[in-house]
Structure 1
């Protein structure tokens, strides 16, 4: 027989062995199983792409942007880091929805910056506040080292990330159609070496988004099995070994998976 108390103790044991500073929230069927350092503001890394896609779909619902609009990728759009657009032919034409998809499933930084420019930084931050997110701020475009050196960074918290996941799963502000499309994009995630790494994905539904920069490893996910739904956010910083951070997140994911399939 499964036990939420046992799961909490398992996760606490994994966290205690972490070499980094862990912030975590695990909610199962709206019950908080564990919440630790959940209000701690930290670098979002690529998790900032979650509020960007939510804001994009909200703006589409309001008629401010068109998800089917085609945008030409220009040389000055391209930035380094994660993603594939930087390697594509100049003049490539991609729809807004294509860009949002690439932003999520391969964490494309060029696509992200194009979406930030289209939606507007202030619009994204305003919608974050509407969702009740206290710690999430988009302060700069991705790979903008000049802004970073001025002290501007994109930040979030574990508790805020759960609010974003909840909006996708339960659509308080978005329509059910928008929520379904975002969830479908998240299920195409190509980076599965953290929360889903030790799960049998034939047995559970996982929609996740990772984030990483030197010293930081994150993953957030909506996990479903039968009638159970899990919202999980694991954010780790102050790491001196990226692989060990990934392993901590994967072990937490496995503990949740084992609990669900019991």
Structure 2
């Protein structure tokens, strides 16, 4: 099957499943790529934690921050989230470098916001610009992602937040829910996040020591229900970061093959199905990304 026919077929599968997405797979050795709406912009959700961690590591490298410095994390300041310090009940002192691990490997929202307190969103955005990584906006801390209508509803009513998220967007990607409005929230496209992955995995303006640590943290990612089942094997290593917000499900990362193959993958999606749990959508995201990678690899 040729590239155009494959992409058309995959696009139809996504649409039949109620998904709209921005997909890009790039061979980091040759530069060849396949894409489905790669420049379509989405709110980035937790994907923003990767540039946050990279910017904080750069400040540690230059001596602006002490990575061993303990920071007090107070439960009363916790951000809504299912993992890490967001579930702590007691104050804890955690070193800055350990907060980096929690923010990426566990997608710990409170750890990420503690880091944003040290390296604010505008500083992260400025560093992305200095590194030549375009198309990723960083406008706010993670706390704002936790203040949606979904948090004000009982568990049995969560589908109502999904319905509102699905039915209220504008053609220009605006939305009455601020976190879903790409003109107000942190955002990016599949192309932008693949560009970031390329800057982390191949020589770029990002310092090699910083890039190496970010790669290591992404390799340690424990949230592996989305793309990982299609990219992890005994002959490959999958390093990534996920992002989830209401009807949005994202992941970007890099698969390194034992034969030397190196592919950056980004899959950013929004669902038209008003359900909180959608394992089928996550499996389809992975199959689409895998099919695109397989086509490039051939």
Q: Same fold (TM over 0.5)?
A: yes
Report the 3-state secondary structure (helix = DSSP H, G, I; strand = E; otherwise coil) of the residue aligned with 1:197: helix
Report the counterpart of residue 14 of structure 1 in structure 2: 10
1:23 and 2:56 matched? no
Instruction: Map Cα deviations across residues 162-210 of structure 1 (whole Å, 9 max, x no partner).
Output: 1211121124223222221111111111111111113442221110111
C-alpha deviation, 1:42, in angstroms: 1.2
Where do 1:97-246 residues align within 5 Å?
A: 97-144=97-144, 145=147, 149=178, 152-225=184-257, 226-240=259-273, 242-246=278-282
Give the C-alpha shift of residue 219 in structure 1. Answer: 0.9
Unaligned runs of 5+ in 2: 149-176
Distance 1:175 1:84, change over 3 A: same
CA 1:204–1:63 in structure 2 vs 1: closer, same or farther (change >3 Å)? same
Contact 2:239 2:254 in 1 (8 A): yes
* Long gaps (5+) in structure 1: none
3-state SS of 1:143 partner: helix
Count of aligned pairs:
257
Distance 2:30 2:56 in 1: 26
Cα 1:123–1:30 change in 2 (3 A) is: farther
The two structures, once aligned, show a CA RMSD in angstroms of 2.5
Q: Is the 8 A contact 2:25 2:293 kept in 1?
A: no
> Deviation of residue 10 (structure 1)?
4.0
> 1:249 maps to what in 2?
285
SS at match of 1:99: helix
Instruction: Give the Å deviation of 1:104.
Output: 0.7
- 81-90 vs 94-103, greater mean Cα deviation: 81-90
**Aligned match of 1:80:** 80
After superposition, where does 1:29-108 map in structure 2 within 5 Å? Answer: 29-108=29-108
Displacement of 1:7 in angstroms is 6.8
- In the TM superposition, residue 78 of structure 1 has moved relative to its aligned partner by 0.9
Q: 1:35 to 1:169 in 2, by over 3 A?
A: same
1:57–1:174 contact (8 Å) kept in structure 2: no
Q: In the alignment, is the contact (CA less than 8 A) between 2:81 and 2:87 conserved in 1?
A: no
- Measure, in 2, the Cα distance between the counterparts of 1:255 and 1:177: 33
Give SS of 2:80's match: coil
Counterparts in 2 of 1:184 and 1:10: CA distance versus 1, 3 Å: same
2:170 aligned partner: none
